[in-house]
Structure 1
Amino acid sequence: MTSNESFIVDHQSDSCRFTIPNTQAVLEYQLDSKQGRVDFSRTFVPQDMRGSGAAQALVSAGLRWAREEALTIEASCWYVDKFLRRKRS
C-alpha cells in the first residue's frame, strides 16, 4: 500500500471501535455517553500497513464522528494525542 491510497473505515459502534475492513487495523475507544465524553484509547496498524496512512484514516474518522456527536475528546492513545497536537498547531 502507498501513502496516497484512501481507506474505507468502518465504525463498529457496538464494539466501540473503528476498523479498516479485512485488516487488523483498529482504533478503539471508550464512550461515556452520560458525560458526553469519548476516550480514544488504542490504535493498531499491522506492520505491513505502517506508513500507508491507515492510522491517520482511522483517527480522522474517529474524530469526525466524535465531533458530529458533540463529544468531548480525550486521547489516552499516544498516536491520537500526537495527531490532535499536530492539528492544533
Structure 2
Amino acid sequence: MEIHHDAHGGRGRFASGGGEETAEMTYHMRGETVVVFDHTFVPPALRGRRLAEQLVAAGVEWAKAEGLRIVPQCSYVAALFQRRPDYRALQAEA
C-alpha cells in the first residue's frame, strides 16, 4: 500500500489506505529539531500486513532526511526502536 505524508501546524501523519480503512502513525514537533511519534493505529481489516512497521519506517526516513531526532512516545514505536539499533541512533531524550 502507498504511504502518504500530511503535515500542518507542527503536527502530521503518515497514512495508508482511506476512509475507515486508514492505517496511520501521527506525530508532533517538539521545537525545531525533535519529532515525537505519538500514535499508531491499524484497523482490524488491515492488520497482519506489517503496515505499522512500514509507517514507522517512512517516518524515520523523513526525520533522517530533515535532520530531526525522534522521541518514540507510542508504545509500538518504542518497541520497534528497541529492536532496531539503526533507529535508536536517531532517538532523542523523552
- Which TM-score tier does this pair reach, normalised by the shorter chain? 0.7 to 0.9
Runs of 4+ in 1 over 6 A off after TM superposition: none
The equivalent residue for 1:20 is 16
Q: Identify the structure with bigger relative contact order (alpha carbons < 8 Å, sequence gap 6+).
A: 1
Higher strand share: 2
Instruction: Confirm or deny that 1:32 pairs with 2:27.
Output: no
SS of the residue 2:17 aligns to = coil
The equivalent residue for 1:4 is none
TM-score (ref. length: structure 2): 0.79
Count of residue pairs brought into register by the alignment: 82
Q: What runs of 5+ residues in structure 1 fail to find an aligned partner?
A: 1-6
TM-score (ref. length: structure 1): 0.84
SS of the residue 2:84 aligns to = helix
Shift of 1:33: 4.1
Q: What runs of 5+ residues in structure 2 fail to find an aligned partner?
A: 87-94
